[in-house]
């Protein structure tokens, strides 16, 4: 389901409402497991969430969809962005914040993160942990999380987390993989800006050569796309 909003601020506001709905019923015995995304649009969302009143954030566990191979204080760290815009602002319990250790060897960090997920996130009948809500962005090239075009992690069918070599970025990223993304109860893409229009149109067309974001196809959960007018500029009228 693609919903089009006038501006990036409207996208962030709608996303805030969805997140607050998902976390509203969290309890100590049944915490909500929320996966955060990096990027400028999620940052706007996080600032709005930090201003929300009456939220029992102590009953929410925060996870990450991907991370760069940098330390937690690095300017490019997804964790740092989320900490500065949301986590510190709501005084989230440290034990509820589960970051990917980008400063460690990427392979070991991916394996450790998968183990942490399996330990804490309830699994479905297929044994795959089920997050309550996963937030995702999309790059101009159609990548999501750190699942970039042409990279090996796109073919991963078993591991929950991968150390993904990304030649076009001359780096390695740590990322959730399709199996765990597609097991989530709710997935929300936040996409803004004219630079994303071609990729969004390609995802919507669902052709054989569609970009990685098109591989997010939940098995039983709900997938939503919140996009602004600029990003939606090349969608067919019936999308």
Asked whether the predicted pLDDT for residue 227 surpasses 90, the reply is yes
More confident residue, 125 or 25: 125
Round to whole Å and give the CA distance between 228 and 196.
10
Identify the CATH number of the domain defined by range 2-234.
3.40.50.1360
- Averaged over 75-97, what is the pLDDT? 96
pLDDT given at position 239:
43
Question: pLDDT class for 206, splitting at 50, 70, 90?
Answer: confident
What does the pLDDT look like over 91-138, one tens digit per residue?
999 999 999 999 999 999 999 999 999 999 999 999 999 999 999 999
pLDDT tens by residue, 166-189: 999 999 999 999 999 999 999 999
Q: How many whole angstroms separate alpha carbon 164 and alpha carbon 213? A: 16
Q: Give the integer Cα–Cα distance in Å for 52 and 236.
A: 36
pLDDT given at position 109: 98
- pLDDT on residue 26: 94
Contact 226, 158 (CB under 8 A): no
Strands 222-228 and 32-36: unpaired
Q: What is the pLDDT of residue 237?
A: 55
DSSP run (H or E) holding 114: helix 106-120
Query: In the structure, what pLDDT confidence band is assigned to residue 236 with cuts at 50, 70 and 90?
Result: confident
Query: What does pTM read for this prediction?
Result: 0.96
pLDDT-above-70 percentage for the chain? 99
pLDDT in tens, 125-155: 999 999 999 999 999 999 999 999 999 999 9
124's tokens: 């479905």
Q: What is the mean pLDDT of the chain?
A: 96
Interval 32-42 mean pLDDT: 93
Q: In the chain, where do the E strands start and end? A: 2-5, 32-36, 60-64, 66-68, 133-136, 161-166, 171-176, 186-191, 222-228
Question: Given this model, what pLDDT does residue 207 score?
Answer: 84
Does the pLDDT at position 13 exceed 90? yes
Mean per-residue pLDDT, 35-50? 94
Average pLDDT over residues 9-36: 96
pLDDT, mean of residues 17-43: 94
Contact 164, 174 (CB under 8 A): yes
Mean pLDDT in residue range 199-211: 92
pLDDT at position 208 over 90: no
């Amino acid at each position: 389901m693609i919903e089009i909003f006038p501006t990036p601020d409207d996208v962030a506001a709608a996303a805030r409402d969805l997140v607050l709905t998902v976390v509203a019923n969290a309890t100590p015995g049944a915490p909500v497991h929320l996966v955060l995304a990096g990027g400028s649009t999620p940052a706007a969302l996080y600032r709005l969430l930090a201003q929300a009143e009456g939220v029992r954030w102590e009953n929410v566990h925060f996870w990450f969809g991907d991370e760069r191979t940098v330390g937690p204080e690095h300017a490019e760290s997804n964790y740092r962005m989320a900490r500065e815009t949301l986590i510190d602002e709501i005084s989230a319990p440290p034990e509820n914040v589960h970051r990917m250790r980008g400063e460690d060897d990427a392979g070991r960090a991916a394996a450790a993160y998968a183990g942490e997920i399996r330990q804490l996130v309830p699994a479905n009948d297929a044994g795959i942990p089920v997050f309550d809500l996963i937030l995702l962005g999309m790059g101009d090239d159609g990548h999501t999380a750190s699942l970039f075009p042409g990279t090996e992690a796109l073919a991963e069918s078993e591991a929950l987390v991968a150390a993904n070599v990304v030649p076009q970025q001359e780096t390695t990223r740590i990322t959730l993989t399709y199996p765990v993304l597609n097991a989530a109860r709710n997935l929300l893409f936040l996409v803004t800006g004219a630079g994303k229009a071609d990729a969004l149109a390609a995802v919507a067309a669902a052709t054989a050569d569609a970009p990685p974001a098109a591989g997010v196809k939940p098995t039983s959960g709900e997938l939503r796309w919140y996009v602004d007018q600029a990003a939606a500029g090349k969608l067919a009228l019936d999308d």
